[in-house]
Chain A
């Protein structure tokens, strides 16, 4: 059994649900926060033997982890195994000076703030509760609490977002000098309330928004950031006193490392097996209250699947993907075609390595689909 060095903990609670969100969330339920943290810790005890401590990374995602009752959040952080990088996701409006100090005191090294946009009319479309000033206040509070690794999430391609809006959002985000930026194109999923309300507008703007991804990359890299993953940027080490500010936790996913996930809806991948814990809060709580593992959906990953995943994840990064052992997952004729089109580069030496070119990265989904065997 391999030793797992990456731990994900899901905290599903939110004040309200944002229209575009498709994560496992639970609105409100203050009364259940304590029971939930108990359940998480019980689950950790059941799975702890899988972990090789000290861990490299712990990531608390949600939901809104920082919406969890502070006492419960503190208790949880205190009980988790130590790690080189501990990240907590936070919504700006929840980050008070008190919370920032609590996080710092409990060993949190990195906070990922869901800013999404600095334009009030776009935040309204996204049904976000925080305003632009909440984001700034949150960043200052974290800085004051000596948290020196802050990531901001931005969303682009929001219905009604003009190119000028996007530029202004990027300026506002960069002005806060975050160590890390995640920029996601809005995904309007079929059948959601959000798509129902905004689908027509998105279709109308589709052509204009085509250039937004390029715009984001151009702007952020020009500001001294490294575009190290399709949607992720970190301040280049030259501008960060030599620190490597890439997210260790997320790098683990992209490099195909094993990880354990705790909490409802959390996914684990260990030794070629992937499982997703039930997303039903009641079932989760009652199973763990009785000392049982919660219900899971298990997926056995075949050798071929594992290889394909390594390729599709690895090509998201700016570092070459070593394809030794992955040869069968790759359609080498397609690689040749894509190379001629200037989308893929092969390594110079005998050891085969694949990297997407800059243009290849903008087309990464299609390119990956094309080069997978």
Chain B
């Protein structure tokens, strides 16, 4: 296909604003799928995606419209996946910015729109759900037009649900989005924007061809890593995989590499022909670094090898997932895992539990810290228990948060941000009713329950998105927890010094509730170094007997004791104290006591 007839585009939208429905409608209208094949959200293949209505992995599908080849590159909608969004956007020349006519612009819309603008994409604004009774197409169109600097008249108004206006969207893609630039005759180059792993065919690279063309059985090379392989097949999605003779400049599709080791092909690398290699790779992506960390431990310690295998398999399809073995005195063998954000963590956990049938204990998440020790050594700390005690300074990651709220809730949001050590950046009115607030906040302040708090203090009206900005020095300290005098590594916290006392107190109070009474008094302490800042005692049990036990009761009493015994097995032994697994999650919802 000649370049002039190709259009590559993404759809960016806030969650639930109708991206998947629009994608489905496009597939239908272009007869890419027949009505019989049609099922909702064709593009979202993972079970979890369909259930949650969110897109996790980017996919690309080719459709034909009025003699043009349109490649729709799907993008994840949630803040955690900004990195994947930007990868997808780099494979496009344009983007549909979809906004719900009843909801208006959300924080994610703004973040993704800026991302698209930064990538020099042509933005086609679309107001969706105009069929809803509470829709305000004109008001929403005005907001969107303002955001992207477009004439409100050029904002498309559609209903992806009924199909109204979708043909105009396809026309606009052809008319407004530029064809890809590229040199069909040059040495071949293709950007790998994603990959997946197929157990029979190995690594499948999703590529955007920039120059030249790629054919099956051609020897190829990944330029940055130097990995060589022969393409077993090239093709495109329509919407399922279809082999093609070749993929040409400007086209989007897949290359089956036959590689059995995912680490040999990195997303962001450039493929080129071994016979006529290109000189320069396509500019790739910045490597993302996981910013949120948590320990994952199997509830049953025998399941450790299963967890390791499961993480290995997940990693094949989730380049952003990071993990390394972790040994906790309290929880045994597990892994410290790094995630892009909280939703990413939640999804990984759910996939591990659901697809791999594992029972997991996930510790409270924390962020990555950069620590300079007193001897001038610089270390990155992913686990509060590993925070060195003798430190010169600590830096923690900061984010820029965009929050959109109705103007009546500006006060509560500002209050929340102040409590969370936020620094006000600026605010602007998006319309008479809606305000955009921009704050800089330590990431550590949002990993636990910020989002819940934001939602509850704004009655669910706030929308929120964030970008990592940098690392900044903070007055941080490590708080340890001791149960019966034994430090419990899995309960250590890193907190701002001003909050150490209240967090330590809240944690100790929670633990007193969570840990059942034992045969002896159990002191629970929070300490900074050797200084105890909070203490509670779990009083010893005074009685624990089965009142009567005669001939007719023996079986029942024995079963009772067996159950009691089984219950104990699920506890973790900390020194001589039996601690239920739930107690290790006490750190997760401390704010019940904080505010």
Q: Are A305 and B542 in contact (CB under 8 A)?
A: no
Q: Which positions 326-373 of chain A face chain B at CB distance < 8 Å? A: 337-338, 341, 343, 361-370, 372
Q: Are B545 and A364 in contact (CB under 8 A)?
A: yes
Nearest chain A residue, comparing its CB with the CB of B543? A213
Per-position 1/0 for B521-548, Cβ under 8 A of A: 0000000000000000000011111111
Q: Are A213 and B564 in contact (CB under 8 A)?
A: no
Q: Are B545 and A372 in contact (CB under 8 A)?
A: no
- The 8 Å CB contact of A343, one of B519, B547, B557, is B519
In the bound complex, residues from chain A placing their C-beta under 8 Å from that of B244 are none
Q: Are A230 and B561 in contact (CB under 8 A)?
A: no
Min CB distance B580 to A, Å, is 15
Q: Are A274 and B543 in contact (CB under 8 A)?
A: no
Contact (A363, B549) CB under 8 Å given A313-B554, A369-B568: no
Q: Are A230 and B549 in contact (CB under 8 A)?
A: yes
Interface segment, one of A129-137, A141-149, A258-266: A258-266
In the bound complex, residues from chain A placing their C-beta under 8 Å from that of B548 are 182, 184, 187, 231
Min CB distance A57 to B, Å, is 11
Nearest chain B residue, comparing its CB with the CB of A331? B565
Min CB distance B260 to A, Å, is 46
Nearest chain B residue, comparing its CB with the CB of A156? B547
Q: Does B520 contact A (CB under 8 A)?
A: yes
Inter-chain residue pair count (beta carbon < 8 A):
98
Q: Does B576 contact A (CB under 8 A)?
A: yes
Q: Are A274 and B544 in contact (CB under 8 A)?
A: no
Q: Does B550 contact A (CB under 8 A)?
A: yes
Q: Are A231 and B547 in contact (CB under 8 A)?
A: yes
Q: Are B558 and A259 in contact (CB under 8 A)?
A: no
Nearest chain A residue, comparing its CB with the CB of B561? A369
Q: Are B543 and A363 in contact (CB under 8 A)?
A: yes
Nearest chain A residue, comparing its CB with the CB of B566? A369
Q: Does A225 contact B (CB under 8 A)?
A: no
Nearest chain A residue, comparing its CB with the CB of B557? A312
Nearest chain A residue, comparing its CB with the CB of B546? A365
Nearest chain A residue, comparing its CB with the CB of B567? A369
Per-position 1/0 for B441-458, Cβ under 8 A of A: 000000000000000000
Q: Does B555 contact A (CB under 8 A)?
A: yes
Q: Does B551 contact A (CB under 8 A)?
A: yes
Q: Are A253 and B564 in contact (CB under 8 A)?
A: no
Per-position 1/0 for A89-107, Cβ under 8 A of B: 0000000000000000000
Number of B residues whose C-beta is below 8 Å from A?
A: 24
Q: Does B552 contact A (CB under 8 A)?
A: yes
In the bound complex, residues from chain A placing their C-beta under 8 Å from that of B549 are 230, 253-254, 313, 316
Contact (A363, B561) CB under 8 Å given A253-B550, A261-B552: no
In the bound complex, residues from chain A placing their C-beta under 8 Å from that of B560 are 365
Q: Does A185 contact B (CB under 8 A)?
A: yes
Contact (A341, B547) CB under 8 Å given A211-B542, A299-B555, A372-B565: no
Per-position 1/0 for B552-595, Cβ under 8 A of A: 10110110110011001000000010000000000000000000
Number of A residues whose C-beta is below 8 Å from B?
A: 45
Q: How far is the CA of A253 from the CA of B548 in the complex (A)?
A: 12
Q: Which positions 164-199 of chain B face chain A at CB distance < 8 Å? A: none
- The 8 Å CB contact of B542, one of A266, A316, A362, is A362
Min CB distance B569 to A, Å, is 11
Q: How far is the CA of A230 from the CA of B519 in the complex (A)?
A: 17
Q: Does A214 contact B (CB under 8 A)?
A: yes
In the bound complex, residues from chain B placing their C-beta under 8 Å from that of A337 are 576
Q: Are A366 and B541 in contact (CB under 8 A)?
A: yes
Q: Are B547 and A184 in contact (CB under 8 A)?
A: yes
In the bound complex, residues from chain A placing their C-beta under 8 Å from that of B519 are 338, 341, 343, 363, 366-367
In the bound complex, residues from chain A placing their C-beta under 8 Å from that of B550 are 250, 253
Q: Does A139 contact B (CB under 8 A)?
A: no
Q: How far is the CA of A363 from the CA of B576 in the complex (A)?
A: 16
Nearest chain B residue, comparing its CB with the CB of A343? B519
Min CB distance B150 to A, Å, is 64
Q: How far is the CA of A267 from the CA of B555 in the complex (A)?
A: 10
Min CB distance B398 to A, Å, is 47
In the bound complex, residues from chain B placing their C-beta under 8 Å from that of A211 are 542
Contact (A214, B543) CB under 8 Å given A337-B576, A365-B564, A372-B561: yes
Contact (A369, B554) CB under 8 Å given A184-B548, A185-B547, A362-B542: no
In the bound complex, residues from chain A placing their C-beta under 8 Å from that of B541 are 363, 366
Q: Does A117 contact B (CB under 8 A)?
A: no
Per-position 1/0 for A29-46, Cβ under 8 A of B: 000000000000000000
Contact (A210, B542) CB under 8 Å given A253-B554, A308-B558, A337-B576: yes
Contacts A341-B520, A363-B519 known; 9 new A-B pairs at CB < 8 A: A185-B543, A259-B551, A267-B555, A309-B554, A361-B545, A365-B546, A366-B544, A369-B564, A369-B568
Task: Show 27 A/B contacts (Cβ-Cβ < 8 Å), sorted by A.
Answer: A8-B552, A185-B543, A185-B545, A187-B548, A211-B542, A230-B547, A231-B548, A250-B550, A254-B549, A269-B551, A308-B558, A308-B561, A309-B558, A312-B557, A312-B558, A312-B561, A316-B549, A341-B520, A362-B545, A365-B560, A365-B561, A366-B519, A366-B544, A366-B564, A367-B519, A369-B568, A372-B561
